[in-house]
Amino acid sequence: MLLTLKQASQWASEYLNKNVTTANISYLIQYGLIESRLENGATLIPLNSLEEYYGHNNREKRWKDELGNDLNWTLSFEKIKEAETTKHVHRLHPYKGKFIPQIVEYFLDGHIDDFKQNVYFQPGKIVLDPFCGSGTTLIQANELGMHAVGIDISAFNAFISNAKIGKFNFTHLYERSKEITAVLRNYVGTSGVLEFEAELAESLSEFNNQYFPISFKRKVRTGEIDQKIYGAEKEAAFLGTYKQLISDYQIDLQMPKDSARFMKQWYLPGVRAEIDLVYSHIRKVEDRATQNALMLILSRTIRSCRATTHADLGTLRQPVTTTYYCRKHGKVCKPLFSILGWWDRYCKDSIERWIEFDKLKTETFQHCITGDSRTIDISTMLRKENPQFAEIVQKQRIKGIFTSPPYVGLINYHEQHAYAYDLFGFKRLDELEIGPLFRGKGGAARSSYIHGVAEVFKNCKRFLADNYDVFVVANDKFNMYPTIAEMAGMHIVNQHKRPVLNRTEKNREAAYSETIFHLKETRKKLESISYTFI
């Protein structure tokens, strides 16, 4: 029995008792997870292929068998759509290692069984995130009517967070974005790149339709086709067409490999010229909030326009200036030669997201400070950057912490946004990162990590109210958090192991969990800690 995309989504929705969209079914087809056929221009899916996939894809049982029955499947948020986990401003800019907003909502708003008697964070209270990242805690605190302070060693992370939570004149922002888009479109229109890309796209479409039909990925997964050999053959076969078009349109591909500047090393010359053009016009915008919003949109744009393969966009390997076989899409893909399409799309999408969030915002304060959470004086820095918020913190102190520290040896947080540091001139403090990838996961790295995170909590305790609560999201496979808690003068009162679904990594189907630790002061304080705001 064959089903249309709509029928397949309806069947899967009834089978799983949750909403499965046609886009979800298309994803499974695209990545060869289910079979499909093309008949009279329509995509059809065999029912037995759906039954096989969903019947063998009971993740809850499979993951509990692998990770343990203490896995709290409720905290998987399995039935929440991807559009909700990336709602409004949460998808304004890519950021590795961030947690979904539903975790913050769940714990801050007291929606957990052992919270029935105790709601630890209430509207009007203040939450601290000393590893602020891209601002998830700040944004959700606003939605819940809570104030929030963020701290991050990365100047760009603080910029992202504050831009997401910012207040804007949307009419002004929309008009300035349109003006800059018009300037860019005129520039691109005279360069010949649009005609080149149109002809290249048409040639690629014909080639891919012939050699990479809809059944290709399925055959790769079943072993009928050796993807590496076949992909290399077809990549080489199309290269002649590509080189001829490059010559016909005189497209400059020269990129210095030894350049110390990220922008020169990872962007084609024509793309760099467009970025510089947009950047120069953004700098002319007088309203600072509007300028920051446009800078964030430009950063989001240029991240998508680096000269790399689609599969390596998250972790750059080497610059790519030719067409290539794409493991992610299962066909021959091309580099990007203009930022116009992405800039235009992101301008519209970003403004829509800010407007959507604006409808939910509460009259509360959120601000991310750039600094080292191990030593920063929150009161002094907040008075410099947001005096009105500092007065509120002085009066009632910070109720607790909700944060997700870096995972040891996983990410170089400055390097993942190297393009923005280069273009915008933010100061890099890579050497002050806690647990960066470049230090590895060995004994010395773990020891440094334990001391670093413990020092953060010890420093932050100076600004917390009595009887504070600390919630930490971490994948503690090295069992470091009991030691961290002890060193910080805290103890773990509870922990919740949650499955992490729909990760962006290539091994997204592998069973993976993280734990939310609930920490409190080890012993009752003999006297209240007082701290004077100067």
| Residue 256: per-residue pLDDT | 77
Cβ count near 384 (within 10 Å): 10
Helix-then-strand count for the chain, H and E: 21, 12
Which residues are 331's β-sheet partners? 326
pLDDT of residue 528: 43
Would you state the pLDDT for residue 534?
33
Average pLDDT, integer, range 128-154: 97
Q: What is the pLDDT of residue 269?
A: 94
In this structure, what DSSP letter does residue 71 have? B
- Amino acid at residue number 404: S
What is the tens place of the pLDDT at every residue in 475-520? 999 999 999 999 999 999 999 999 998 765 555 567 889 999 999 9
- pLDDT over threshold 50, residue 293: yes
Condensed to tens digits (0 to 9), the pLDDT of residues 330-355 reads: 999 999 999 999 999 999 999 999 99
Q: Could you report the per-residue pLDDT of 211-240, keeping only the tens digit for each?
A: 999 889 889 988 999 999 999 999 999 999
The whole-number pLDDT of residue 222 equals 87
- The first and second tokens of residue 67, run together, are 């990770």
Asked whether 92 and 350 are in contact (CB, 8 A), the reply is: yes
On the CB side of 39, how many CA atoms lie within 13 Å of its CA?
9
What pLDDT shows up at residue 507?
55
Q: How confident is the model at residue 116 (pLDDT cuts 50, 70, 90)?
A: very low
Q: What is the mean pLDDT of the chain?
A: 91
pLDDT at 526: 36
Superfamily of domain covering 60-165+363-521 = Vaccinia Virus protein VP39 (3.40.50.150)
> Would you list the domain boundaries of the chain?
2-57, 60-165+363-521, 170-338
pLDDT of residue 503: 66
Confidence of residue 460 (pLDDT cuts 50, 70, 90): very high
Q: Which residue has the tokens 């009161």?
A: 379
Query: Residue 51: pLDDT band by 50, 70, 90 thresholds?
Result: confident
Give the percent of the chain with pLDDT over 70: 94
Q: What percent of the chain stands above pLDDT 90?
A: 74
Q: State the burial class of residue 31 (Cβ atoms within 10 Å of its Cβ: 0-12, 13-18, 19+).
A: middle
Residue 302 scores a pLDDT above 90: yes
Name the pTM for this structure.
0.88
Task: Categorize the per-residue pLDDT at 56 as very low, low, confident or very high, splitting at 50, 70 and 90.
Answer: low
> Among the listed ranges 78-87, 133-142, 296-305, which one has the minimum average pLDDT value?
78-87
User: To the nearest 10°, the Cα dihedral for 353, 356, 357, 360?
Assistant: -170
More confident residue, 23 or 200: 200
Kindly indicate the confidence band of residue 525, based on its pLDDT and cuts at 50, 70 and 90: very low
pLDDT at 294: 98
Total residue length of the chain = 534
Q: Which pLDDT score, from 0 to 100, does residue 115 have?
A: 44
Please, which pLDDT band fits residue 55 given cuts at 50, 70 and 90?
Answer: confident
Query: How far apart are the C-alpha atoms of 184 and 461, rounded to whole Å?
Result: 50
pLDDT interval class at 101 (50, 70, 90): very high
What is the distance between the alpha carbons of residues 270 and 192, in angstroms, rounded to a whole number?
Answer: 11
Residue 319's Cα: distance from chain center in Å? 22
pLDDT band, residue 37 (cuts 50/70/90): confident
Give, in order, the Cα–Cα distances in Å from 164 to each of 134, 135, 302, 354: 9, 8, 18, 7
> Among 87-101, 125-139, 164-178, 451-465, whose mean pLDDT is lowest?
87-101
pLDDT band per the 50, 70, 90 thresholds, residue 39: confident
Residue-wise pLDDT tens digits, 370-402: 999 999 999 999 999 999 999 999 999 999 999
pLDDT tens digits, 9-18: 999 888 887 7
Position 261 confidence tier, pLDDT thresholds 50, 70, 90: confident
Give the integer Cα–Cα distance in Å for 110 and 121: 7
Average of per-residue pLDDT across 281-294: 97
